[in-house]
Amino acid sequence: MIRKFIILLLIVFPFKAFALIEVDITRGNLNPLPIAVSPLAIDEKSKKNFENILQIEDIGYEISNIVENNLKTSGLFNPLNKDAFLQAPDIANLKPRFEDWNLIKAQALITGKVNLVDEKLRVEFRLWDVLAAKEMMALAFTTVPNNWRRVGHIISDKVYERLTGEKGYFDTRIIYVAEEGPKTQRIKKLAIMDQDGFNNKFLTLGNELVLTPRFNPTSQMVTYLSYFKNMPRVYLLDIETGTQEVVGDFPGMTFAPRFSPDGKKIIMSFAKDGKSDIFTMDLENRIVERITNHPSIDTSPSYSPDGKYITFNSDRSGYQQIYIMNSDGTDIKRISFGNGLYGTPVWSPRGDLIAFTKLHKGKFYIGVMRTDGSGERLLTENYYQEAPSWSPNGRVLIFYRETKTNAKGEGFSAKLWSIDLTGYNERKIKTPTDASDPSWSSLLSN
């Protein structure tokens, strides 16, 4: 590659250089960008008012902490230690002294201020390019005070988008299965929380087993598997109203549900007589359509973001492998050919990759491959982990992992983890209980 490149360079160089010497820069570093998040300024009066309303001492500081934490966990930014800041936060309306920020090696700077205006929280913030000494972005939000955490997430998204060129994923939520109790009698509940683990809420009581919740594109509805009355069926839950209903009227187990990208259909597996096939149900007219028909197990279907294709898991070759087909079930092609078993394919929201779980020689891997099966990359290896779900920008995967709590392999703990496509930035996401089967919502605001 390098050799080719040099030859190419030699060919092109002399003639292009007729006017000017050219230097080709094809490499850079992937070091996180040093960024200074100055605490948002707040006047004494507003500060007191917020203290009364929210019981938070300094909301400006707290919001900037959310931003800082988000940017840090993305792995793309390196928020600098606030102790090193030379300028106080009360410069929100002024142009920063860029030399000062340059001195602590910040390349970008976030400043802003918080007010209470008509009982509402008003946040202004600016993003500065320290090296170019210019403003990159200035925005203001107004919302009810209780939404203050979301403001922090929205600012993070805006900054992320402005500096990386793709949408962020911070103003999002995770739905997952909260787990408690011994493995043989595990109690499972649906739970929802902010992407950073805050605002955790349980959605079911744990009376029956629930599995594999997944958001619809607007993040208002969830489809999941419930063992209500010992009949494992796919259900639909409205998060706002809490209403639940069973999806379709199948004479057997339905499982592995997901929404279509337009949110109008649910695609799932239906198991009968030892074979599992893929079906869709239209949520408006309730029409059920068969997609696959094969004596093997066909499960874990996932649509491409344009809705034209479906990737799914099948053992028609004898073992679990990943396939793709047209959304009407025609033109079925196997795409996974590596050693081991492949499961849980999930199409990236960008459309270019499929994430999967791979089992090989007693290890579980989370990986991605292109939609034709080429370019397989394993991001993380562990004793047991599965069920990746994409962040809405297609950069980060959330999954769950079980680890043994003692050497005998008796106790165990299940937690949510995230990893980005580079495979380096792996993080545990804190949850109040054990957790599994995460599903990432879309961006709540745009």
Partner 1 sequence: MNRSLIISSVLHLSLIFITAMSLPFLAKKPLDIPPIVSVELIQIAEKTNIPFAPKAKKTIEEVKEKEKKLVSEQAPPKKVEKTKTKTVVTPDQNNKKIENQKPDAIPLPEKTIKKIKTKEEKKQNPDKIDTKVKQVSEFEKKDLIDELEIAALIDKKKKDSAKVVKKNNDVTQDQDRSVENTGLTLSEEDALKAQIFGCWSVPLGLPYNEDLLVRIKLKLKPDGSVIKTEILDHARMNKPGQGFYKVLAESALRALKLCQPLRVPSTGYERWKELQFNFDAKEMLGG
Partner 2 sequence: MRLNKIFKNTLLILTACLVLSACATKQQEVSTEIKGQMQGDVYTGTDTVKYLADGVPDRVFFATNESILTTASRETLRAQAAWLRQNSSINVVLEGHADERGTREYNLALGERRANAAKDYLMTYGISSDRITVLSYGKERPVDSGSNPLAWSKNRRSVTVKAN
Q: Which residues bind partner 1 (CB under 8 A)?
A: 1-3, 6-7, 10-11, 13-15, 17-33, 76, 107, 129, 131-132, 136, 160, 162-166, 350, 352, 393, 395, 422
* Complex with partner 2: residue 172 or 300, whichever CB lies closer: 300
Q: Which does 184 bind (CB under 5 to 8 A by kind): partner 1, partner 2, none?
A: partner 2
* Complex with partner 2: residue 9 or 209, whichever CB lies closer: 209
**Tokens standing for 147?**
């939404």
Query: For residues 268-287, which are near partner 2 according to CB under 8 A?
Result: 269, 271, 273-276
User: How far lies 282's CA from each of 137, 232, 250, 290, in Å?
Assistant: 43, 20, 14, 12
Asked whether position 165 contacts partner 2 by CB under 8 A, the answer is no
- Would you say 367 and 322 are in contact if contact means Cβ atoms under 8 Å apart? no
Binding region for partner 2 (CB under 8 A) out of 143-151, 168-176, 179-187, 279-287: 179-187
CA neighbor of 191 nearest in space, from 446, 443, 429: 429
Give least dist CB 178 to partner 2, A: 15
What letters, b where the CB count within 10 A reaches 16 and e where it falls short, cover 405-437? eeeeeeeeebbbbbbbbeeebbbebebebbbbb
Place of tokens 């004479």: 251
Place of tokens 């590596």: 338
- Would you say 160 and 74 are in contact if contact means Cβ atoms under 8 Å apart? yes
265-272 and 253-259 strand pairing? antiparallel
Residues 65 and 40: their CA atoms lie apart, in Å, by: 10
Give least dist CB 258 to partner 1, A: 25
Q: Which does 273 bind (CB under 5 to 8 A by kind): partner 2, partner 1, none?
A: partner 2
* Complex with partner 2: residue 171 or 437, whichever CB lies closer: 437
Query: For residues 301-360, which are near partner 2 according to CB under 8 A?
Result: 313, 315, 319-320, 341, 343-344, 357, 359
Q: Which does 162 bind (CB under 5 to 8 A by kind): partner 1, partner 2, none?
A: partner 1
Residues 191 and 438: their CA atoms lie apart, in Å, by: 10
Burial class (CB in 10 A: 0-12, 13-18, 19+), 330: exposed
**Tokens standing for 10?**
């030699």
Binding region for partner 2 (CB under 8 A) out of 44-52, 62-70, 405-413, 421-429: 405-413
Binding region for partner 2 (CB under 8 A) out of 8-16, 91-99, 109-117, 408-416: 408-416
Contact mark string toward partner 2, 56..85, x via CB under 8 A: ------------------------------
Q: Residue 156: enclosing H or E segment and its boundaries?
A: helix 148-164
- Would you say 130 and 108 are in contact if contact means Cβ atoms under 8 Å apart? yes
* Complex with partner 2: residue 154 or 322, whichever CB lies closer: 322
* Complex with partner 1: residue 48 or 350, whichever CB lies closer: 350
Residues 178 and 190: their CA atoms lie apart, in Å, by: 6
Asked whether position 378 contacts partner 2 by CB under 8 A, the answer is no
* Complex with partner 2: residue 156 or 344, whichever CB lies closer: 344
User: How far lies 421's CA from each of 100, 200, 371, 373, in Å?
Assistant: 35, 26, 15, 16
Binding region for partner 2 (CB under 8 A) out of 60-68, 94-102, 146-154, 267-275: 267-275
Asked whether position 404 contacts partner 2 by CB under 8 A, the answer is yes
Q: Which residues bind partner 2 (CB under 8 A)?
A: 182-186, 209, 211-212, 225, 230, 232, 252-253, 255-256, 269, 271, 273-276, 297, 299-300, 313, 315, 319-320, 341, 343-344, 357, 359, 362, 383-384, 386-387, 402, 404, 409-410, 412, 437
